[in-house]
Amino acid sequence: MPEGMEKNTVLMNRYELGRTLGHGTFSKVYQARSLVSGENVAVKVIDKEKVLRVGAGMVDQIKREVAVMRLIRHPNVVQLHEVMASKTKIYFVMEHVSGGELFSRVLASGRLREEPVRRYFHQLIGAVDFCHSRGVYHRDLKPENLLVNDDGNLKVSDFGLSALRESRRPDGLLHTACGTPSYVAPEIISRKGYDGAMADVWSCGVILFVLLAGYLPFSDSNLMDMYKKISKGEYKSPSWFSLDVRKLLSRLLDPNPKTRITIDKIVEHPWFKIGYKPAAMAAQPHPHSSDTLKDHLHGCAIRSNGEDDEEQQPANAMKPASLNAFDIISLSHGFDLSGLFEMGQTTKRHNNVHELFVTGKPASAIVSKLEEIAETEHFKVRKQVDGMVTLQGSKEGRKGQLTIDAEIFEVAPSCYVVEVKKTAGDTLEYQTFCNKDLRPSLTDICWTSPSEEDLSSHQCRTCHR
């Protein structure tokens, strides 16, 4: 167990830890039980100090993993329930998949029969297709990262090496070489840039081969010789592969990503179509290009041992959103998960210019002040749920009407952070508005910059003007 943590430790009065399920360099995963629902879950415990020693790369990987897991809600993807944090640890509370790795089933039997493999492949392609539709590329698909639950359903896990669509360079391609050598696509090896979706399709082809054959299509004791085979697509199918499987594999393991089969065509392939039933999906909002990392993390509630009952408000009252664990942690300069809290500076995130302010005034006072500013500057005001206020300019600028979102977050009682960001219009007009109108008008409700210590302890300083 991590330092200071023993078996049957209770986290945040919510989860009782049990046996160790696995461990890595920076984390351990435990089976746990929810004290609220009695549900079995898996808790990934990350040592913050170890992560910080490694540097920004590891921090980015954790940011990416959480953002992606919050973004992907699919029956065949391991679900992240919530994120909790202490001063030294970060806790991911995830769906517990009791059946273990799919790879262990291959090892136990040597190879799997075609019918169960087809069912697993149906679920794998469905999950990967859904990820791609949400702008997520896994980049490390392999049997070890595919889990199986008690019902025999596949669950894709481990998004630590994944990439979001926004990570692409101006050429529209990803350039970070990553993945497991035996499963990596040839275009990644060439280091000339690659399409994340087509790279995932290649890995799915290798997985299909491994499940049916019991061994890798590309294997060599010399890594460079193996890469040569991968680059040329040189492999040999065993005699028990059916003709339709061979044809599908030849399209999946095409070394040219431009002619490689797409997921749309995989679904239409004769071998794949047998018994195929798309996963039943609950209605989900589609992410917009303006979504920030904070948006993806928004559902991860921070938990503490204190009371969390909320004072009842009128139905039409503006209710601020609560900052989650990763929003709070991001205020530490040594572990900046989002770059959101750069007070008094104008920054760009996902093409949105934004600023942040902090105040001790309640949400109603913040909204009133924003309405006052809007009226003076001829903005229309639209209140939304969860602490969002939208200000829309009444006149056309160089790039249309200037539109600004102000989102209010409650850090602690009497401590609120407000994110103000441009969502439409000209950036120069937005900056002028902030410098000449917004900041000067906010001084009378005691705006100030939060210190790292203040927010990590969930306290706001008294404002001295």
- Write down the pLDDT at residue 359: 77
Name the H helices within 31-180: 48-54, 56-71, 102-109, 114-133
Instruction: Please provide the DSSP assignment of 261-288 as one string.
Output: PPHHHHHHSHHHHTT--PPP----PPPP
| Residue 322: both structure tokens together | 């609560």
Closest CA to 41 of 31, 29, 55, 51: 31
| Residue 133: both structure tokens together | 């539709």
| Residue 194: both structure tokens together | 């690659």
300-302-303-307 Cα dihedral, nearest 10 degrees: -120
Check if the beta carbon of residue 209 is closer than 8 Å to that of residue 121. Answer: no
pLDDT digits (tens, 9 = 90+) for 193-233: 999 999 999 999 999 999 999 999 999 989 999 999 999 99
Task: pLDDT band for 412, please (50, 70, 90 cuts).
Answer: low
Q: What percent of the chain is modeled with pLDDT above 90?
A: 40
Among residues 129, 140, 254, 454, which one is catalytic?
140
Residues 6+ apart with CB under 8 A from 281: 74, 75, 130
Residues 6+ apart with CB under 8 A from 333: 452
65-68-72-77 Cα dihedral, nearest 10 degrees: -20
Mean pLDDT of the chain: 78
The CATH code that applies to domain 10-95 is 3.30.200.20
- CA separation for the pair 281, 304 (Å, rounded): 33
* Superfamily of 102-273 according to CATH: Transferase(Phosphotransferase) domain 1 (1.10.510.10)
- CA separation for the pair 93, 103 (Å, rounded): 24
Query: CA Rg, the chain, in Å?
Result: 25
- Write down the pLDDT at residue 7: 56
State mean pLDDT over 71-100: 91
Determine whether domain 293-303+315-456 maps to CATH 3.90.180.10.
no
Whether 413 has a pLDDT exceeding 80, the answer reads: no
Phi and psi of 42, rounded to 5°?
-115, 135
Residue type, 71: L
- CA separation for the pair 83, 49 (Å, rounded): 17
The answer to whether 60 is a known catalytic residue is no
Closest CA to 196 of 149, 266, 128: 128
Q: What size, in residues, is the chain?
A: 465
Whether 340 has a pLDDT exceeding 60, the answer reads: no
Lowest mean pLDDT among 159-168, 301-310, 357-366: 301-310
Residues 6+ apart with CB under 8 A from 249: 205, 208, 209, 217, 237, 241
Report the DSSP pairing between strands 27-34 and 40-47: antiparallel
**Helices 196-213 and 114-133, packing angle to 10 deg:** 170
Residues 6+ apart with CB under 8 A from 419: 294, 340, 354, 355, 356, 405, 406, 407, 409
- CA separation for the pair 43, 96 (Å, rounded): 8
Lowest mean pLDDT among 221-225, 232-236, 440-444: 440-444
Query: From the annotation, which residues make up the binding site for ATP?
Result: 44
- Write down the pLDDT at residue 93: 94
Domain ranges of the chain: 10-95, 102-273, 293-303+315-456
- Write down the pLDDT at residue 450: 43
Q: What percent of the chain is modeled with pLDDT above 70?
A: 74
Tell me the residue ranges of DSSP E strands in 132-212: 136-137, 146-148, 154-156, 163-164
- Write down the pLDDT at residue 307: 32
**Within 10 A of 190 (CB to CB), how many other CB atoms are there?**
13
